[in-house]
Structure 1
Amino acid sequence: MGRIAIHLACAGACALLAGTSAGQQDAAKPVFTDAEIKIILSHGPWPAPAQADPSNRVSGKPDAIELGTRLFFDQRLSASGTLSCSSCHVPERNWSDNLTRGVGMSEVDRNTPTLMNLLASRWYGWSGASDSLWSQSLRPILDERELAATPRHVAQLVRDDEQLTCRYRKAFGAPPSASDDEAVFVDVGKALAAFQETLVSGRTPFDRFRDALAKSERPPSETYSEPAQRGLKIFIGKGGCTLCHSGPNFTGGEFFRTGLSRFAPRGQTDPGRQAEIPQLMKSRFNLLGRYNDDKSGASAVRTREAALEKTNFGEFKVPSLRNLILTAPYGRDGGVETLAEVVRHYSGVDPASLRAKDGRPGKPLDLTPREQTDLVVFLESLSTFSNPWRPDDGGQCY
C-alpha cells in the first residue's frame, strides 16, 4: 500500500476509534523488528513532559488552576445560569458527554470532544477554529447554542463575586479591570485553559508494554495480550495508522478527509477546516492579536502561515486515540457507535470517499476479520480507567 493510500486509510480507520469487547483468537505470537520497535517507542513515554503555554502567562500556575477549576463548574458563567463547562464536558464521562451531538442552550452540529490531553495540541476543535487552548475556551461561552454569554456578563461575574475576585487577583497579580470587559473575559479563558492543561489520562497497558521494550524486556502475554500485540503490529504496519496518529498522544494534530459523512445535521454541508481558517484569521482572540502573552511571537508562526486550500473542504482534526473507550459515540458528527464499526467500514470503504491532498483516491485497509478484531483489542489497550472527580470548595480566598 502506497504512502498516500496508507495516509488516507489511517485518517479514516484510526481517527475515530473507541473500545468494544473483542474476543481473543489463536494466532502466532508477533515478533517485532528493530524498525517496528523504534516506531513503538516513539509513542512514549507517557505522560509526556508538561510544558507551559507561552501564549498564556498563567499556564501551569496553581492559583490560575484553582480559579479555572471553579469557573469550569460554575453555572453562572452561562447567560441562563443553568449551564457550566462541565454540563457538556462531564468528568464521569472522560470530560465528554456520550451524546451524538452536544447540547447546551440548543443542540450543536458536532460531537463533544474530550478535554483530556490537550496541552500539546497545535489546533483546537474539530476543524481547528482556535489556535490556543485559552481562545478555544472562549468560544462555547459566546456561542448562542452553548453558554450564550457575553464578555460583559463574564467580567461582571468575576467582579461581583468576592471569592472569584480574590482568586483572580492571586492568579493574575491584580484585580479584574473595572472597565475592560474583554480583557477580563480573555483572562477567564486563560484560567480555564490552565485548569484543562491538568487533565491528563493515566498510564495504559500499552504504555507498560512500550516501556518494557525500551528496557529490552518483553512483558508476558498475560499483561499485554497476544491479540493486542498483533493489533499493534497492524497499527504500525499494514494499517499505516502512525502516519496520522503519531507520538505519545497518538495524534499528529492535523486535518484529513476521513471518508465519513461531510454533512451536518438537517442535511447541511459541513465544510470543516475550509470554513474555519478564515474565521480563525479574523478572530481578535487568535495568536496574532494583542492577547497573546508570548512576546517572542514564536507561538503565532503556525497561525500566520495557515493557508486556505481547496483540499481543506471536508477536513477534520485527527483526534488522540487515548481513552477513546470511554467517549462513544465517535466522529465529528457522533455517527459511529463502536470501534468495530469503524474498522469494518474502512476495511472495505469505497476509495472515492477517501482523497489525498492532490485529489487522488485512497484504498481500503482490506483487513481480515481476525485482523479487525486484533486492531480493536490493541486500541482498547490505549485506555485506562480512573476515578472521576469533582472539586471541593477549595476553602476561602483571602
Structure 2
Amino acid sequence: MLIVIAVLLPSEWGRSAALLGIGQFLGAALSFGSPIERIRRYSRLADDEVFRAARVDSVARLAVAALLLALAAVGAFLWPVSGVVLLTACGVFVSMGSSNHYIAQRRFVIAGIFLTSEKLLALAIVLVAVQLSVLTYATLPIAIGAAGVITGIGAFIAMRPSRESFAAGAKLRPVLAIWRESGFLGLASLAPAALLLDATIVVFVSGENEAGLLAVASRLTAPLGIAATALVAVILPHYSSSSMRTTPSVGRRGRMIVVALILALGLILVTADSWVPLLFSDRYLGAVWPVRFYVANVIVVLGTRALVTILQAWNDDRTASLLVVGQVGLALAGLWLGAELGDAVGASLAVLTSNILLVVALWWRVRRVSGRHAR
C-alpha cells in the first residue's frame, strides 16, 4: 500500500482506491454474513464436524469464485475496469471464508499464517510491478484479488477435501443457505463494507485528487483493522459458547494494553504532519488531517467491533444490525456532505463522528441486554 501511494499521483491513487473499494464491497456482498455466521456455527460443532462442514462450504465458495473469474475474464476484454473490479471481488470473497474454521477452533496461529501469506503475496505482486515499471492504478486491486484467490485455494487444499465434499459443495447449497440464514447478521457484516466506497463517493463529489487524499487516510489505517479482526476472532467463539450474559469488563492487563494502544495511536496522530510528507512526498500534504481523523477512528472502531460481536454472540443480531446500518447510512451521507463542504477533511470527520455515535449506542444496548439477563 505504501509503495503504491508513493509511486502514484494523488489523482491516480484516488482512481485506484475507488476501483478497490467497489471490488471489496462486491466481495463482501457476496459473502453476506458468512464469516461471522460460519465462525458462530463452527464454534458449536465437534472438531470432526467442523472440518466436514468447512470442506463443503469451501467447495461451494470456490465454485462461485470460478464463475466470478470467468466473468472477470470476459469483462477484461469488453471493459478492462470491470475485469479488475470482478477479480478483486473474487479474491475478497474467497479470502473471507478461507480461515473461518480455524478461528472457530481458536487455532489463531494457523489462521494468521494464511492471512499473512495472502498479504505477502499481494506485496510480492506489487514489488514485481514496481521493478518492471508497470505499476498503474489497477495494480493493487489486481494484486489483492489474485492473492485472495491463490491463498484461498491453498487453504482449501490444506483441508484435504474428500469426494463427498465436492459433491455436496458443487450444488452451491451452502452459499445459498448462508445468504438465506444470515438475515440481520449478514446485514450487520455487509453494512460497514459500504464504507469501502468512501473514495468512490469523493471521486464523484470532489474529484480524483481529493479522493486520493482521503484514500491515503482510509487505506493507510486499514491494516490497523487487523486488531479489530483479532478481537472478533477471540470474542465471538468465547461469547458464542458461553451461556452467560455479563457486561464485558477489562482487567488490569487489558487496561494497560488499551492505554498503550491509545498512546501509540496518539503519537501517530500528532506527528502526522511530519511523517505523511516524508513517506509520500509533499503531493500528499493535504492528507494530514484526514489521516489524523482516521487514526482516531481506529480507536473507536475497536470498540464498535467488540460490542457488535458480543451482541451477535448473544443472538441479538437484529439490534446490532440496525445500529450498524444506521451508522453506515449516517457516515455515507456525511461523506457526501463533508466532501461537498470540506473535501477530504470534511469527509473523514464525518466518518469519525458517525462511529462515535455508534459506540455510545452499542454500549447502551450491551448494558441493557446483560442487565435484563441478570434479572
User: Structure 2-normalised TM-score?
Assistant: 0.27
Is the helix fraction higher in 1 or 2? 2
User: Structure 1-normalised TM-score?
Assistant: 0.26
Which gives a bigger RCO, structure 1 or 2 (Cα 8 Å, sep 6+)? Answer: 1
Which of the two has higher C-alpha Rg? 1
